[in-house]
Structure formats: structure tokens, C-alpha cells
Amino acid sequence: MRAWEVVAPGPIDGRPLRLTERPQPQPAAGEVLVSVRVCGVCRTDLHVAEGDLPVHRPHVVPGHEVVGTVAEVGEGASRFAVGERVGVAWLASTCGRCRFCRRGAENLCPNARFTGWDRDGGYAESTVVDERYAYRLPESLPDDQAAPLLCAGIIGYRALKLADVPPGGRLGLYGFGGSAHVTAQIAIAQGAEVYVATRAAEARALATELGAVWVGDSAEPPPVPLDAAILFAPVGDLVQPALAALDRGGTLAVAGIHLTDIPALDYQAHLFQERRLRSVTANTRRDGEELLQLAPRLGVHATTQPYPLARADEALADLAHDRITGAGVLHVS
């Protein structure tokens, strides 16, 4: 089968990925083999390729927004039938025994493993997944729409919950890519006013089209104090202005798995009056199940840019250089 692998992590313009031929993987006990139809292009894939995240699996196949059909089931696997459409997301496995798993916080499991980082992912014609961590996809979600929801959507949804936006509140979004443009639609549908700060002109246009009440540059302060904010751009320099934009009691949730260094904070300007800064770590399967049911009901529509599998490296380069509006999606089969 065709598959992209990270040969030597480094700047994406240095072509750290290579398209190879590999044997088709075989499902172990409790796993299913998935014939990949589409795979979303996520910023975390870029972090894996460029080495922002340490190597967990040499020559890993990236990709963790996978939509495909079950081609084969391993011993004891019974949750899905051959031919059934499934989604494969970032969270690949957890121990199920630690105190975090036992209290419903499996996203914090110290033994968690992740698709496209610890396990080979969806930049390939086939992949395998533990059936307990695969998603059954609503029939109303086309492949191109389902793929971005499986990480960009899920992490944005979790970040929105952790940002604790009050009913009818003002929500700031810093960065407006694949995750933020889905999150904005959910927040607006739930009654929030959305304020978007992003540097890309195409992203600003999309934010306006989707109903943001204010759109500005990343360095531009919003016109009113915010009740909550989510930082999607992996830029630590934006933490200060995002916190400064919060009203009393506001929360800034940092949604990325990687962030450049945060400059020193001023307690009075950035944190006093019960402002909160919190990170968002992966997701639980419950987050995914909730979002996959909620998004179609709210009419969420992902803006996607298609690429053939053979151009996966170009897709990541376009993502790195802000040449994708919305979410990139690889068409595999």
C-alpha cells in the first residue's frame, strides 16, 4: 500500500516526509483494518513532521482524522462489521486503570497512545485501530465533513467547554484554521458572540461569512472585553494580548498540543480579577461522541480544501504557510 512516513523530522520545506510502499497492516486481537477514504490534514501532523513533538515512533505515518471502511476484523473484534464506515481520531488507546481513566479523564492518562504519533495513521491507504477507539459516523456526515471533526472539531469542542462561555457571552478566537472555524459555528449556534483575531486575509473573510461580530488582526485588541477566549494559533506571544482582552472572571483556553514560549505575564494586567489560563489536553471519547451528534444538528459545515494522497507533503506545506482556508482533506480512495 502507499503510505507517507516521517523520515527525518524538520522544517516542512525540507521535505521530512516520504511516500513509500508498505505491506498492508494486519489487525491484531480487538482491532479492525480500515481502508482509508479520506484523512484530514491537521496542524498536529505538522508538529509531528517538523519535530515540534518528540519522535515516539520512527518513520511514523501521520494522520488522525481518518474516515474509511472496515476491511477486516481481528480476533475478538465485534463492534463493527466489514464494510461499515468508521472514524479514527487522535486518541488511540489508554490504560483504563489509572486514576485519570477511572474518573473519566482518559485524555490525561499517562499511558495514552495517539494515532499518527505512537501508531501509524491515515496518510496511507490502510490503517488499523483498536475498535474501542473508533467512531461510528452519522450517515448525514459526508466523508469530507466527518474528517475535520475527528480532531480539529473534537479539540475545538473540548476547548469551548473548558473556556466556560456564559450564555450569550463574548468569545474570542485567536487563529482561524480548521479547528477554530468549526468551533465558531458551534459557539454562534449556541448563542455566543464571536470575535476573531487572525493574520490571514482569507481566514478573516471566512470568519465574517460564518457570523463573527468582529474580525481583526492577531495583534489588534477586540472592541469590547471578552468573557472567554480560545487560542488556536501555536504562538505563545498571543497569550498576553488574549488574557488582556478578557473581562473579569474570563478564561483563556489554549487548544494546541504545541505552543511556542509564553512571554512573562504581568499579574495585574493578565491574571488578576480571577482571569484564568488553562490548557486543553487531547480529548475523551465522550467528547468525540458528543460532537459527532451535535455538529449535524447545529448545521456545522467544514470549509475544506481537497488534496490527493500523493500531495500530502504539499498539503502540510500549505498549512504551514497559511495557504489553506478552513481544513485540508486528503482523498485517498
C-alpha separations of 218 from 164, 259, 261, 292, 318 in Å: 22, 16, 17, 30, 20
Q: Which residue carries 499511558 as its cell?
A: 111
**DSSP-derived 3-state class of residue 117:** coil
Tell me what percent of the chain is helix, strand and coil, each rounded to the nearest 5: 30, 25, 40
Distance CA(259)–CA(109), nearest Å, equals 21
Task: Provide mean pLDDT across the span 42-46.
Answer: 97
**pLDDT for the residue numbered 57:** 97
Angle at Cα 142 formed by Cα 141 and Cα 143, nearest 5°? Answer: 115
- Given 263, 279, 295, which residue is the final one in a domain? 279
- The predicted model scores a pTM of 0.96
- My answer on whether 223 and 99 are in the same domain is no
| Max Cα distance, the chain (Å) | 59
**pLDDT for the residue numbered 68:** 98
Cα end-to-end span (Å), the chain: 12
- My answer on whether 255 and 218 are in the same domain is yes
Inside any domain, residue 41: yes
Predicted confidence band at 89 (pLDDT cuts at 50, 70, 90)?
Answer: very high
Distance CA(296)–CA(294), nearest Å, equals 6
Sign of CA dihedral 77, 25, 330, 199: positive
For residue 93, give the CATH number of its domain.
3.90.180.10
Q: Is the pLDDT of residue 8 over 90?
A: yes
- My answer on whether 200 and 258 are in the same domain is yes
- Given 279, 294, 321, which residue is the final one in a domain? 279
Predicted confidence band at 62 (pLDDT cuts at 50, 70, 90)?
Answer: very high
Distance CA(316)–CA(309), nearest Å, equals 12
Q: Domain tally for the chain?
A: 2
- My answer on whether 124 and 205 are in the same domain is no
- My answer on whether 179 and 236 are in the same domain is yes
Inside any domain, residue 292: no
Burial state string for 134-173 with b = 16 or more CB within 10 A and e = fewer than 16: bbebeeebebbbbbbbbbbbbbbbbbbebbebeeebbbbb
- My answer on whether 230 and 114 are in the same domain is no
Structural domain for 28, as ranges: 2-137+303-331
- My answer on whether 211 and 261 are in the same domain is yes
- My answer on whether 183 and 258 are in the same domain is yes
- My answer on whether 273 and 320 are in the same domain is no
pLDDT above 70 covers what percent of the chain?
A: 100
Predicted confidence band at 326 (pLDDT cuts at 50, 70, 90)?
Answer: very high
Task: Provide mean pLDDT across the span 292-318.
Answer: 97
Q: Is the pLDDT of residue 132 over 90?
A: yes
Q: Is the pLDDT of residue 218 over 90?
A: no
Q: Is the pLDDT of residue 125 over 90?
A: yes
Cβ 121 vs Cβ 57: under 8 Å: no
Q: Is the pLDDT of residue 114 over 90?
A: yes
- My answer on whether 131 and 17 are in the same domain is yes
For residue 160, give the CATH number of its domain.
3.40.50.720
**pLDDT for the residue numbered 19:** 98
Distance CA(5)–CA(8), nearest Å, equals 9
Inside any domain, residue 145: no
Distance CA(333)–CA(330), nearest Å, equals 9
**pLDDT for the residue numbered 314:** 98
Inside any domain, residue 48: yes
pLDDT digits (tens, 9 = 90+) for 156-215: 999 999 999 999 999 999 999 999 999 999 999 999 999 999 999 999 999 999 999 999
- My answer on whether 218 and 256 are in the same domain is yes
Angle at Cα 14 formed by Cα 13 and Cα 19, nearest 5°? Answer: 95
Inside any domain, residue 286: no
Inside any domain, residue 258: yes
Mean pLDDT, the chain, rounded, equals: 97
Inside any domain, residue 33: yes
Inside any domain, residue 205: yes
Distance CA(93)–CA(70), nearest Å, equals 18
Q: Is the pLDDT of residue 11 over 90?
A: yes
Q: Is the pLDDT of residue 219 over 90?
A: no
- My answer on whether 235 and 120 are in the same domain is no
Predicted confidence band at 333 (pLDDT cuts at 50, 70, 90)?
Answer: confident
φ, ψ for residue 53, nearest 5 deg: -100, 135
pLDDT digits (tens, 9 = 90+) for 264-283: 999 999 999 999 999 999 99
